[in-house]
Structure 1
Amino acid sequence: MIKTIEQAYQFVKKVKICTIFESDKVEYPSLWEQVDFPDKQLGEKGWGEKMTAVWTWKTQLPAQYPNEIFYGKIKGGVAALMEMNYLTHDHFPQAHKDIQTHDQLAQHIYSKVVIEPWDTTSLRKATIQEVGCTKSQFDTALKNLQITMNIARLNDAQIERDTWVSFKEQYLDIWKKYENR
């Protein structure tokens, strides 16, 4: 059972891919199931020990080990951590879809993220104002851009909000392996 970020790191390296939380949508193990902290107790304020650990580690692991651990969304919109070799050789070639295959909303979001990093809240607000989409439509497009390896979360432990950059910018070495396929 996992009690430290180092143990969480070793778990991801061992299993190659895991979800953050349990999900019926996929058959991967979850970090949540492995963490040995109590769930939130009745009357306890905040998230509780287990939720705090899992939520913190999903951001800290890729920031602390940027060349070894990846955080992103997989098919079904499920948040996952991956070992970098698995991402490079197994997941990326299967999951990546060219930006031109996306709808106009996703392409609009992508066009903003390619120019500069955007945090989710600011990007959502600007996109809704510019194109008149709903929050739900924005969230779906953002999720699909992650699933198809077009955007990735910026690996910076100092940034508290999820901030998005192009996958190509963050992982150019992986992108180059497959750009002419």
Structure 2
Amino acid sequence: MAGITTIEEAFDFIQSVGICTIFSQKARGVQSLWDAVDLPHRTGGNTKWGAKMEAVWTWKSDLPALYPDDVYYGKIKGGVAVLMSMSYFKDTHYPANRRDISECKPLARQVFDIIRLSPGSSSEIRREAMERFGCTKSRFETALKELQITLNVVRENEPGNTRDRWLPFDEVYSGFED
């Protein structure tokens, strides 16, 4: 399915493919929402980004917010951002990728504790982690990716969010394994 021009068509695309990257085909065998969208790349839209970038950037947040029971946003191995149909997520992705926090690296566990006790934006959590644990921005970003990939944290899916806000996965998807 190519020629996507609306958020509804993007939703249908995700449901049909199960999983797609947001911006590129950096994951072998996984289609890209970016490649399926048929909007002007360098023109149109309200910013210098162009209509295509504006749409894809907005849809990556709006789709899981508008369709929380149908679309999941997360990261896969390699740190690639993806959107998934919830059926693909439950049947395939979750069982293969969920890891207990005890299996994560020490800094990831420490960052998780910050999020668990005081959910916040990436910049807020990064600032606290750097102050408390003396880590670099790069090490923090790696730890946050690990927490997303292992399904220990998830981005809050509230309509209109302009900044990523992180929550423990089990708070958002309580009873998920039932």
TM over 0.5: yes
Q: Deviations over 1:86-141 (max 9, x none)?
A: 11111001011111111221001111111232100111111101100000000000
Show the counterpart of 1:17.
19
Corresponding position: 1:159 with 2:158: no
> Secondary structure at 1:97's aligned position in 2?
coil
TM-score w.r.t. length of structure 1: 0.92
Distance in 2 (alpha carbons) for counterparts of 1:123 and 1:46: 30
Match of 2:117 in 1: 115
Q: CA RMSD in A?
A: 1.4
Give the residue type in structure 2 aligned to 1:86.
Y
With 20-29 and 63-72 compared, the bigger mean Cα shift is at 20-29
TM (norm. structure 2) is 0.93
1:124 and 1:116 mapped to 2: Cα distance? 12
Q: What is the DSSP-based 3-state SS (H/G/I as helix, E as strand, rest coil) of the residue aligned with 1:80?
A: strand
Unaligned runs of 5+ in 1: none
Matched, 1:150 2:152: yes
Query: What aligned pairs does 1:52-131 form with structure 2 within 5 A after superposition?
Result: 52-131=54-133
Secondary structure at the aligned position of 2:31 is classed as coil
- Runs of 4+ displaced beyond 4 Å: none
Contact 2:23–2:34 (8 Å) recurs in 1 = yes
- Most deviating of 18-27 and 81-90: 18-27
**Partner amino acid for 1:2?**
I
Distance 1:26 1:164 in 2: 27
Report the Cα distance in structure 1 between the residues aligned to 2:47 and 2:161, rounded to whole angstroms: 25
Alpha-carbon distance in structure 2 between the residues aligned to 1:168 and 1:141: 18
The alpha carbon displacement at 1:158 in A equals 2.8
Aligned length: 174
State the percentage of identical aligned residues: 44
